[in-house]
Chains A and B, each alone.
Chain A
Amino acid sequence: MNEKMSQAPLLEVKHLRKLFPAKSGFLSKEKTFIKAVDDVSFTLMPRETLGVVGESGCGKSTMGRSVLRLIQPTSGEILYKGQDFMKLSGADLRRVRSEMQIIFQDPYASLNPRMTVGEIIAEPLNIQKKYSSKEETRDHVVKAMEVVGLNPKYYTRYPHEFSGGQRQRIGIARAIVLEPSLIVCDEPVSALDVSIQSQVLNLLKDLQSSMGMAYIFISHNLSVIKHISDRVMVMYLGHVVEMAKKTELFSNPSHPYTQALMSAIPLPERHSKRKKIILQGDLPSPANPPSGCIFHTRCFMAQEICSTQKPELKDIGGGHYCACHFCGKCQQGE
């Protein structure tokens, strides 16, 4: 822990925004935008796992992709090891990119069906022109396959010959082959059966302790997030509503949305005494987000002020951030 504190951040993201043009009625002149990510800031330390959780459509994937500039952010600042990542181009961009990788949810869609497993895993090495000889590249790929638990004899097979869990291992091998410092894991276990999910989660944790990369781990599953993360960020409609160290967040969830999310998980235990907070209604449209606090239309604690005034994301103690006019700790503090 202390070691982490004394280090410089690996990544600093400041006021990141990503807007998509929304389809507007053909008579309306006004252009409207989907505010997929709206003013997100965080830092990530080396070797740290930041869990990102929230309902589908809240902007998790857009955030993860914007941070890697796989899609161009609308505005904001991204500092990677202190360098301004937004301003990099050409060879510099390529070099920094090689230190950042992404793993996708759907191992089926994200692997090129016409390439062999060996070619898929070698691709990042070839793009970076890492090795001049084929043999060296091959040795490296084989090593990566062994590390993720894929038998190297599958080198010349095609992705469709593999199960979901094995395809996810191929995706992971591809992501680690350049020994990156940062991997964005976008719902990497969401499409897997629970028995395979636990195998992949263990693998990701093992790789982190042996190779030392940081993860931005995106999931809609709070139990998975709790297992894997050091710190957790809760998103709602493109905004961060709460962020804290994992143990703090789970023992003291302060935003009503976080509380509702936690209470809604069905726990595998009988006659749970837990009181469920059942949110009413659906997620509002990010093209037309509610005024004031973006959560007020579904919030069980909302007061008048919530529909008019936007609560700031503020530190309510020890690096626990919460954006709510009435969150438990804010009240005590005032």
Chain B
Amino acid sequence: MGEKILEVKHLKTYFHTDAGLSRAVNDVSFSVEKGKTLGIVGESGCGKSITSLSIMGLVEIPPGEIAGGEIIFEGEDLLKKSEDEMNKIRGKKIAMIFQEPMTSLNPVFTIGQQITEALMLHETLTKKQARERGIEMLKMVKIPLAEKRFDEYPHQLSGGMRQRVMIAMALCCNPDLLICDEPTTALDVTIQAQILELINELKEKTGTSVMMITHDLGVIAEVADDVMVMYAGKVVEHATGDQIFEKPMHPYTEGLMHCIPKLDDDDTQRLSVIEGMVPSFDDMPAGCAFCPRCPEARQICRERMPELAEAQGRMVRCFKYTQEWEESGE
């Protein structure tokens, strides 16, 4: 085990809605090692974004509520920080890239104005220095004609180019942790390949730790050292990338792996599916949240939620790997 840069313990982020209490992040624990990439995967609504927004202190409260837990970053609990203190950490020590760069870039300011603002937030630079540094950053993320782009507005750039600008801004201050929330989901595969290569290169150069959130197991396979699989607000499996791809253990992880069409499939066959769909928070099944969709569920699964427990050198939340499974023998 290397040094941990981030440790999330029993995080609970809830939303109070008209339909009742949504436990978007329901007792989630994990850590990110220094210089490593943690991939977080799961289908929409399983709590990936809310987990990262909780770390950034960007959950809207209300309707949201941090109902419990700790977020230890470089030894200190972020949940105990004041808004002022968080402002100093955001952007400087922890930076985040979102799926849709257009919503995080301000349309009325030039790329240059926004990138220098990010720089000036943490360093005192003259106007000329800031311009030079900004252009340097744009070049680092391989934006062609950086000098010209510097003075353009976000709408003049393509989606891939805007995502590069976001990465440049995120990396302005050499953050210790970079959170990427579906950074390539809105992009074409050819542009996705450029962006993933860029993130990997920058990670190697700067030693930044990365949290990579995606629903795409292909992206996970390429970038993640460790993988955490979420389902309905909970971690269901946490393992190394090699372990997960060699043998997914949780039936949900297994289902995810098998239902995607692959280039080397025998495509005369039907795709394997995960029956049904993700339960909504006001319709959570008793017991294991995955049990209505699980091909292996037994009576015990309908009665209690299994714990996230160690099995074969990784963490899995499934009765299959417990003593009780043998005893429940069906």
Residue numbers in A under 8 Å from B156 (CB-CB): none
Query: Nearest-CB distance from B278 to chain A (Å)?
Result: 8
- CA–CA, A246 and B255, complex, Å: 26
- Let me know if B215 and A196 touch, CB within 8 A: no
CB closest residue in chain A, given B240: A270
Q: Is A109 interfacial (CB-CB < 8 Å)?
A: no
- Let me know if B160 and A195 touch, CB within 8 A: no
- Let me know if B158 and A266 touch, CB within 8 A: no
Q: Is B271 interfacial (CB-CB < 8 Å)?
A: yes
- CA–CA, A202 and B273, complex, Å: 9
Residue numbers in B under 8 Å from A55 (CB-CB): 188-191
Interface residues of A in 175-198 (CB under 8 A from B): 193-198
Q: A195-B273, A198-B259, A198-B260 are in contact. Are A261 and B189 (CB under 8 A)?
A: yes
CB closest residue in chain A, given B158: A282
- Let me know if A268 and B277 touch, CB within 8 A: no
- CA–CA, A27 and B306, complex, Å: 69
CB closest residue in chain A, given B184: A266
- CA–CA, A202 and B144, complex, Å: 43
Interface residues of B in 102-122 (CB under 8 A from A): none
Residue numbers in A under 8 Å from B87 (CB-CB): none
Residue numbers in B under 8 Å from A269 (CB-CB): 221, 245
Residue in A197, A261, A266, A279 whose beta carbon sits within 8 Å of that of B221 in the complex: A266
- For A194, A228, A261, A279, the residue with the greatest tally of chain B CB atoms inside 10 Å of its CB is A194
Residue numbers in B under 8 Å from A268 (CB-CB): 217-218, 220-221, 245, 257, 260, 262
Q: Is B22 interfacial (CB-CB < 8 Å)?
A: no
Where chain A touches its partner, the secondary structure class is helix
- Let me know if A278 and B197 touch, CB within 8 A: yes
CB closest residue in chain A, given B277: A163
**Proximity bits, A270-281, B CB within 8 Å = 1, else 0:** 101000101111
Residue numbers in B under 8 Å from A287 (CB-CB): none
Residue numbers in A under 8 Å from B160 (CB-CB): 282
Query: Nearest-CB distance from A1 to chain B (Å)?
Result: 13
- Let me know if B190 and A224 touch, CB within 8 A: no
Interface residues of A in 119-134 (CB under 8 A from B): none
Q: Is A207 interfacial (CB-CB < 8 Å)?
A: no
- For A165, A226, A260, the residue with the greatest tally of chain B CB atoms inside 10 Å of its CB is A226
Residue numbers in B under 8 Å from A194 (CB-CB): 43, 215, 256, 259-260
Residue numbers in B under 8 Å from A163 (CB-CB): 277
- For A205, A266, A278, the residue with the greatest tally of chain B CB atoms inside 10 Å of its CB is A266
The count of residues in chain B whose C-beta lies closer than 8 Å to any C-beta of chain A is 45
Q: Is A158 interfacial (CB-CB < 8 Å)?
A: no
- Let me know if B263 and A195 touch, CB within 8 A: no
Query: Nearest-CB distance from B251 to chain A (Å)?
Result: 12
- CA–CA, A144 and B189, complex, Å: 36
- For B144, B216, B245, B267, the residue with the greatest tally of chain A CB atoms inside 10 Å of its CB is B267
- CA–CA, A263 and B277, complex, Å: 32
Residue numbers in A under 8 Å from B284 (CB-CB): none
CB closest residue in chain A, given B198: A278
- Let me know if B271 and A195 touch, CB within 8 A: no
Residue in B189, B245, B259, B270 whose beta carbon sits within 8 Å of that of A264 in the complex: B189
- CA–CA, A282 and B219, complex, Å: 20
Query: Nearest-CB distance from A290 to chain B (Å)?
Result: 16
Q: Is A327 interfacial (CB-CB < 8 Å)?
A: no
CB closest residue in chain A, given B258: A198
Query: Nearest-CB distance from B254 to chain A (Å)?
Result: 12
Q: A55-B188, A266-B216 are in contact. Are A202 and B270 (CB under 8 A)?
A: yes
**Proximity bits, B218-238, A CB within 8 Å = 1, else 0:** 111110000000000000000
Q: Is B242 interfacial (CB-CB < 8 Å)?
A: yes
Query: Nearest-CB distance from B192 to chain A (Å)?
Result: 7
Residue numbers in A under 8 Å from B278 (CB-CB): 193
- Let me know if B277 and A165 touch, CB within 8 A: yes
Interface residues of A in 191-228 (CB under 8 A from B): 193-199, 201-202, 205, 220, 222-224, 226-228
Q: A165-B277, A197-B259, A281-B144 are in contact. Are A266 and B161 (CB under 8 A)?
A: no
- Let me know if B221 and A223 touch, CB within 8 A: no
- Let me know if A198 and B271 touch, CB within 8 A: yes
CB closest residue in chain B, given A278: B193
- Let me know if A195 and B261 touch, CB within 8 A: no
Query: Nearest-CB distance from B97 to chain A (Å)?
Result: 17
Query: Nearest-CB distance from A46 to chain B (Å)?
Result: 19
- CA–CA, A222 and B136, complex, Å: 36
Given contacts A193-B44, A222-B189, A222-B263, 13 further A-B contacts (CB under 8 A): A55-B189, A193-B43, A201-B261, A223-B261, A223-B263, A227-B261, A227-B271, A264-B189, A265-B263, A266-B189, A266-B219, A268-B220, A278-B193
* A/B interface sample: 24 pairs, CB < 8 A: A55-B188, A55-B189, A193-B43, A194-B256, A197-B259, A198-B261, A201-B271, A202-B270, A223-B260, A223-B261, A226-B261, A228-B267, A264-B190, A265-B218, A266-B218, A266-B221, A267-B263, A268-B220, A268-B221, A268-B260, A270-B246, A276-B197, A278-B197, A280-B194
| A-B interface, 7 closest residue pairs, ranked by CB to CB distance from nearest | A266-B218, A227-B261, A195-B274, A198-B259, A193-B43, A264-B193, A268-B217
Q: Which residues of B come within 8 Å of A, CB atoms?
A: 43-44, 144, 158, 160-161, 188-194, 196-197, 215-222, 241-242, 245-246, 255-257, 259-263, 265, 267, 270-275, 277-278
